């Protein structure tokens, strides 16, 4: 079992969007994606976690298939299907090997977890190749990533003992931390930047449709955002929706979302 699978077997991934400061990522992703997804689309949710996006779209009538590397997550999705009376597929699968699916089987592929943890460049390339293989021509590929430039400010507010030259070097220059290393503050993880992500996607037969910062600085200043009243949070969310494509804000957003169309 990989370090990443062990990590997610131990934590409650389902609670990730419980706080307003974290929920902004989900609200922004769906705000941007929902108008782009055509009625009747077949969606593959790769790295589905506990299925927050899986069920968002399944409950809106889309045919959704979920895959995740962590067996616990797949069981959670299957249990929720029973509770909700939904009939959808969920499989344990690696994002770098989607061979159980035929080529051009999906209209939309959501890749909302794998890029966080694929620390090897060849694995990241395999992930995108597989996502594009199972995607129809003209289909949408949505990729979530963690922005390296937001990571050090976030650590300053959460765990300042990691504010040191060796950690900064690993995040900014190498983009990788590895579990067991003294500088690892999470599990095996990969960090990139908006420009690097666009350059990476430039090697594939994809046209950029949209690129947004899905939480801006909300994750970094989480206590302040969580302390907002309902009206203030709604105003903050409105501000965020209006500015999430602004390059300077995208450059500091903790999570980014790249959406491309397969040529």
Give pLDDT, residue 187: 96
Residue among 106, 124, 131 nearest 46 (CA): 131
CA-nearest of 22, 14, 19, 15 to 216 is 22
Give pLDDT, residue 14.
75
Say how far apart CA 193 and CA 196 lie, in whole Å. 5
Report the C-alpha gap between 162 and 248 in whole angstroms.
Answer: 25
Signed CA dihedral, 96, 101, 107, 113: sign only = negative
**Segments of the chain scoring below 70 in pLDDT:** none
Instruction: Read off the pTM.
Output: 0.96
Mind listing the pLDDT tens digit for each residue in 162-202? 999 999 999 999 999 999 999 999 999 999 999 999 999 99
- Per-residue pLDDT at 15: 80
Q: What pLDDT does residue 202 have?
A: 97
Q: Which domains does the chain have, with CATH numbers?
A: 3-262 (3.40.50.150)
Instruction: Please report the beta strands in the chain, taking only residues with DSSP state E, as ranges in sequence order.
Output: 42-46, 63-68, 89-92, 106-111, 135-146, 176-177, 189-190, 206-213, 255-262
């Amino acid at each position: 079992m990989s370090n990443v699978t062990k990590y997610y077997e131990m934590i409650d991934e389902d609670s990730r969007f419980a706080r307003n400061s974290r929920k902004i990522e989900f609200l922004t992703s769906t705000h941007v994606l929902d108008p782009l997804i055509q009625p009747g689309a077949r969606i593959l949710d790769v790295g589905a976690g506990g299925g927050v996006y899986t069920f968002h779209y399944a409950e809106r009538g889309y045919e959704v298939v979920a895959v995740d590397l962590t067996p616990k997550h797949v069981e959670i999705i299957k249990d929720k299907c029973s509770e909700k009376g939904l009939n959808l597929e969920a499989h344990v699968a690696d994002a770098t090997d989607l061979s159980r699916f035929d080529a051009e089987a999906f209209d939309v592929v959501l890749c909302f977890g794998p890029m966080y943890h694929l620390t090897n460049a060849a694995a990241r390339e395999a992930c995108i190749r597989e996502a594009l293989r199972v995607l129809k021509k003209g289909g949408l590929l949505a990729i979530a990533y963690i922005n390296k430039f937001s990571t050090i400010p976030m650590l300053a507010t959460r765990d300042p003992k990691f504010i040191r030259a060796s950690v900064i070097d690993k995040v900014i220059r190498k983009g990788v931390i590895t579990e067991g290393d003294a500088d690892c503050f999470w599990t095996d993880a990969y960090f990139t930047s908006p420009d690097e992500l666009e350059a990476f996607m430039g090697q594939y037969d994809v046209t950029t449709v949209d690129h947004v910062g899905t939480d801006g600085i909300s994750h970094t200043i989480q206590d302040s955002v969580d302390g907002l009243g309902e009206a203030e949070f709604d105003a903050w969310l409105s501000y965020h929706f209006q500015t999430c494509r602004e390059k300077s804000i995208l450059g500091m957003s903790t999570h980014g979302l790249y959406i491309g169309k397969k040529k």
